[in-house]
């Protein structure tokens, strides 16, 4: 067993040395990656290989990630402004749905797999990154806690003030397309990318902002 390991390690070391002798260019690496994707992935059910295509903001953020440097602030603001233009504001001016539906949606990470149907409603997956209801014991911490959201953002104090309206709009925008406010956010661009519908986004708005929602108790 030990001898086999030694042989394997020697082979890997030899391969690494051989690799250094003729380092592929970044164009070669891009082509190799595209070829691997083409030969290894295929459409299945509702999941299409095209989900691997990246848009400009993904490409710029990935490059910054690889370089280990944050985006230049002017570039970040320009990209955010582009994303801001993708947001559709509710035509009837009504941002609030049903917090009870919002709670179920926030807890569900279901959807977007090949065995789902085109009309399957996806979950919002919010609990995977955020605390919401203080009574909930299972939640992720990649995003900030949203417990007491309306209170911490000053909406409950005076729901009709211009400041509260600005928060309502920001919250809608954040759920619609998180990158409009933080260029390389890891939060999914939920409505923009068709993960959830506008009606579902309204239910999540109520979960965050309705005074009766468990989030605000
Ligand atoms: C993969 C992790 C992830 C998921 C899933 C996620 N978020 Fe976020 N969210 C974040 C992060 C990280 C931030 C902090 C700001 C940023 O980087 O965009 C954030 C910020 C927010 C904010 C702004 C908070 C503030 O005080 O300004 C709101 C509102 C929000 N998320 C709501 C949601 C809702 C609703 C869902 C479910 C549809 C959700 N998030 C799903 C990671 C996530």
The response to whether residue 148 sits with its C-beta less than 6 Å from ligand 1 reads no
Q: Which of 107, 130, 149 to mutate to test the pocket of ligand 1 (most atoms within 8 A of CB)?
A: 130
**What are the tokens at 176?**
């619609």
- Cα(172) to centroid(ligand 1), Å: 11
Residue whose CA lies nearest to ligand 1 atom number 43: 187
The response to whether residue 143 sits with its C-beta less than 6 Å from ligand 1 reads yes
pLDDT in tens, 67-76: 999 999 999 9
Nearest to 80 by CA among 185, 194, 186: 185
- Cα(139) to centroid(ligand 1), Å: 13
Q: Residue 20 has what pLDDT?
A: 53
CB count in 10 Å sphere of residue 37: 12
> Which domains are present in the chain?
41-217 (1.10.760.10)
pLDDT in tens, 76-96: 999 999 999 999 999 889 999
Task: Report yes or no on whether pTM surpasses 0.85.
Answer: yes
Question: For the chain, which residues score pLDDT lower than 70?
Answer: 1-21
d(CA 210, CA 82): 30
């Amino acid at each position: 067993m030990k001898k086999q390991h030694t042989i394997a390690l020697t082979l890997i070391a030899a391969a690494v040395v051989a690799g250094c002798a003729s380092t592929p260019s970044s164009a070669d690496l891009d082509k190799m990656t595209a070829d691997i994707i083409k030969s290894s992935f295929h459409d299945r059910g509702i999941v299409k290989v095209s989900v691997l295509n990246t848009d400009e903001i993904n490409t710029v953020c990935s490059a910054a990630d690889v370089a280990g440097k944050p985006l230049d602030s002017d570039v970040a603001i320009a990209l955010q402004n582009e994303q801001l233009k993708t947001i559709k504001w509710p035509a009837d001016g009504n941002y609030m749905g049903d917090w009870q539906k919002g709670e179920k949606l926030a807890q569900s990470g279901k959807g977007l797999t090949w065995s789902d149907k085109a009309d399957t409603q996806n979950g919002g997956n919010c609990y995977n990154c955020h605390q919401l209801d203080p009574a909930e014991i299972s939640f992720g911490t990649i995003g900030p806690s949203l417990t007491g959201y309306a209170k911490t953002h000053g909406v409950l104090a005076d729901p009709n003030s211009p400041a509260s309206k600005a928060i309502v709009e920001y919250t809608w925008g954040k759920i619609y397309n998180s990158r409009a406010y933080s260029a390389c956010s890891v939060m999914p661009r939920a409505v923009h990318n068709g993960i959830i519908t506008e009606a579902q986004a309204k239910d999540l708005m109520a979960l965050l902002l309705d005074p009766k929602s468990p989030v605000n108790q």
